[in-house]
Amino acid sequence: MSDLSSPNWFTEQCDHTGTAISLRIKHKIVEKQSRFQKIEIYETTDFGYLMVIDGCTMLSTRDNFLYHEMMTHPALFTHEQPKNVVVIGGGDCGILNQVLKHDSVESVHQVDIDALVTEMAQHYFPQLCESNQDPRAKLEFTDGIQFMQLAKPASFDVIIVDSTDPIGPGEGLFNHAFYRNCLDALRPGGILVQQSQSPILHQALIKEMRDAMRLAGFDDLQSFLFPQPIYPSGMWSCTLARKAEPFGSFRQTDANLLSDKLEYYNPAIHLAGMQLPNFLKRALAL
C-alpha cells in the first residue's frame, strides 16, 4: 500500500466536506500563476493528464466526457432549436466542443476570465480544442459576470455556466443578480445550465442555487445527476433553469442520432439523469 502523502499522489483535500480525492501521478508537468488563479498540470498513471486550479481538480483526460456531455446535451436536446449559445467559464473548451456537435447551433461565445486555462488546454487536452477553429466558435477572455451584465436582452437560447467553485473569481456566478442577467439575455424557452456540485456533499448549495434561480424569475428547474470519479464524492450534478416554459419532453430522435458519437449521453441516460433520489428530493423540498 503506498503512502498518499508521497509525491507519487496528487490529493485534493476539502476540509469543509471532510473528504479528499487522490490520483496517482507520474509527475507534475507545469505550474503557472495567472492574474486570477494557480493552474497546474499533472501526468497521472491512470487518468491521463489532470488540470488543477487553485488546488481543486478540474478535469482529467480519462473522465472529462461525463461532465462535458451532461453539462451540454440535456439542455441542447430540450431546447427545440438552439442557435445561439454562451459558455461562461469553460476555458478548457470541453463544453464548446460538445455544443458544436449540434448542427442547429450558429454561434457559441465561450467567455473565460483566464486565457491561460485555454492555452494549457490547447497543449495538454488538444482533443477538447479540436473545434476551436470552427467559424461558429467565438473565444473571449473577459469576466463572465460583466459579459452577462452587458448582454443584449433576448439574444441567446442556452447559457452554460462551467465555472470553478463558488469562491474566488467564480463566486459571482452563483447568485441572484447573475441569474437575473442570464434570464434577461435568454429568449423565451431559453435554458440556463449551471454546474451544481455534489448532491451528497453540497445539498445546501444546490437548494440555495435553485431558490436564487426561481427568485430571478425562471419558470421551471430540473437538476441532473451523473458520475464524476475525480470530483469529491464521485457523484455530481448540474441544474437547468428554463425561461417562460416548463421542462418536459426533449428531442429524443435527434439525441439518439448524436449518441453514436458520444461516450456517455443517450436518451435513456437523459431520462435517468433527471430522476432525483429520495434523500435529494427531501433536501430540496421537492
Residues that constitute the known binding site: 37, 68, 92, 112, 143-144, 162-165, 169
Q: Does 163 bind ligand SAM (CB under 6 A)?
A: yes
The CB-of-141 to ligand SAM minimum distance in angstroms stands at 9
Confirm if 85 and 99 have CB atoms less than 8 A apart: yes
Measured in whole angstroms, the distance separating CA 133 from the mean position of its chain's CA atoms is 21
Q: Does 183 bind ligand SAM (CB under 6 A)?
A: no
The CB-of-147 to ligand SAM minimum distance in angstroms stands at 7
- 85 in the Ramachandran plot: left (φ > 0), alpha (ψ -120 to 50) or beta? beta
The CB-of-235 to ligand SAM minimum distance in angstroms stands at 13
Binding site for S-methyl-5'-thioadenosine: what residues are annotated?
37, 112, 143-144, 169
3-state secondary structure of 39: strand
The CB-of-179 to ligand SAM minimum distance in angstroms stands at 14
Q: Which residues pair with 112 in a beta bridge?
A: 141
Q: Which of 162, 184, 211, 220 is catalytic?
A: 162
Residues 74-113 that bind ligand SAM (CB under 6 A): 88-92, 111-113
C-alpha distances (whole Å) from 46 to each of 28, 38, 91 are 14, 24, 24
Measured in whole angstroms, the distance separating CA 97 from the mean position of its chain's CA atoms is 12
Instruction: Name 95's Cβ contacts closer than 8 Å, sequence gap at least 6.
Output: 68, 71, 72, 87, 110, 160, 162
Among the residue ranges 164-172, 238-246, 249-257, 276-284, the one whose residues contact ligand SAM (CB under 6 A): 164-172
Confirm if 237 and 226 have CB atoms less than 8 A apart: yes
From residue 24 to residue 63, what is the string marking binding to ligand SAM with x (rule CB under 6 A)? ----------------------------------xx----
467567455: which residue's cell? 111
Is residue 162 annotated as part of the catalytic site, yes or no? yes
Footprint on this chain of ligand SAM (rule: CB under 6 A): 58-59, 67, 88-92, 111-114, 117, 143-145, 162-164, 169-170, 173, 195
